[in-house]
Every structure is written in C-alpha cells, then in structure tokens.
Amino acid sequence: MIKFPRSGLYAITQTASKSPDTIINEVAAAIKGGAVVVQYRDKYPQDALFLARELVKICHRHNVPLLINDDIELAALAGADGVHLGREDGAVTQARKRLGSGAIIGVSCYNAVEQAIAAQAQGATYAAFGRFFPSNSKPLAGPADIETLRQAKRALAIPIVAIGGILPENGPQLLAAGADLLAVIGGIFDHQPEQSARAYQALFNH
C-alpha cells in the first residue's frame, strides 16, 4: 500500500462518455503533470474492475495511490490503495476490516467538522470538505464554508482535502484556510490534463 500524501493535487477521474483508453491516458497525463493521488470515480461503470486494475498499475508505476470512490469491494478486488466513503457508503471500521490496516480511507464530511472528528476517531486517513465553489460534477451538493477549513485545521491531525469547483485561481484561498490537498475533476479533465495539473501543482510549490 502506498501512503497518502500530506499535500498536493488530488485528481478524480472524469468518466462520463469516455472510453477506458481515454480515461487511462488522461490519468497518466494528470500524474505526469503532478497529481499525487488519483481517485477512480464512476457513477455508471461498465468495466469497473478492468479499469480500476489498469489505473492501479499506472498509479503504482509512479508511486501514486489509487483510491476507489464509494465501493469497498471494488477497492479490495482491484488491489487499490484504499477507498473514499460518502454519506451512504459504509463505515470507516467496515472499510478498514475489509481492506486492512494499511489502507487509505477517506471520508466526505461536507461542511461538518464534527463529522470529520468522528471519522478521525474511527481511523480515517483523511477528511474531505466541500463543495466550496459551484461544480458541474456535484451540482446539487450543499455549499461548504471556507471557515470550516479553518476550524478543521485546528481540530484535526489528519490531512484535509477540499473539493468542489476548485480552479488554480481560487485554490490558494482554500490552502491558506487549512486545506492540505485540492481535489479536482473538471479543472483537470475538461482540458489538457497534464498542463492543467501543472497549474494546480504550482500552488503547492511556494
């Protein structure tokens, strides 16, 4: 298992209407551009196990962890480094039991620091907050306050991930408030993934 990084760009796959080859090539480009974590997120999967295993291979070639969104069982079968859990995706303890003590387990905490504190106590690897800005991939998600990041930074020892409509232009204010990693979908994969990833990665090089 590859360890979860303390900071950097967290790339989340954009899979709608894309072939497995396109998704694989885009992820490789994002890693080349500086992504330090990749999450395989696919709301309507066709070849989920095949694609997850291919993404694990690419990520591991570059010593980048590959996480699976929502699906503990797929993470286990694909040999992924861990799982990201949303509101209805099972408990941290359940994921830990299935995936092992070294697995990365991230939890969506939306706008609730208390939820993140509870997840940390259960053994979560990181806490994710958002959405912070309007987002095409999460249009119905409730907004999160930047103040939540400041509170989370004071309360948590685990890394903090910010998500939702993040661009290179608005990312710095999230990092300044306490985010350790920026999770991005469209900002990377709507354009040229390698160049887009470089623009985000530059935010961490100060």
Give the model confidence (pLDDT) of 91-109 as tens digits. 999 999 999 999 999 999 9
Find the length of the chain.
206
Q: How confident is the model at residue 89 (pLDDT cuts 50, 70, 90)?
A: low
Q: State the burial class of residue 182 (Cβ atoms within 10 Å of its Cβ: 0-12, 13-18, 19+).
A: buried
> Residues 142-146: what's their mean pLDDT?
89
Q: How far apart are CA 9 and CA 185, in angstroms?
A: 11
- Secondary structure (3-state) at 107: strand
Q: Which residues contact 152 (CB under 8 A, 6 or more apart)?
A: 109, 113, 116, 127, 129, 160, 178
Domains recognised in the chain with CATH numbers:
8-204 (3.20.20.70)
| Cα distance between residue 118 and residue 103, in whole Å | 18
Rg for the chain, CA atoms, rounded: 15
What pTM does this model have?
Answer: 0.96
Q: Using CA atoms, how far apart are residues 186 and 18, in angstroms rounded to an integer?
A: 13
**Is pLDDT above 70 for 114?**
yes
**Which residue is it, tokens 């890394």?**
159
Spatial contact of 106 and 128, defined as CB atoms under 8 Å apart: yes
Is-contact 32 195, C-beta < 8 A? Answer: no
Query: Which pLDDT belongs to residue 132?
Result: 95
Cα–Cα distances in angstroms (integers) from residue 39 to residues 33, 66, 83, 118, 150, in the given order: 16, 6, 8, 23, 25
Helix (H, G, I), strand (E, B) or coil at 104: strand
DSSP H or E segment with residue 200: helix 193-201
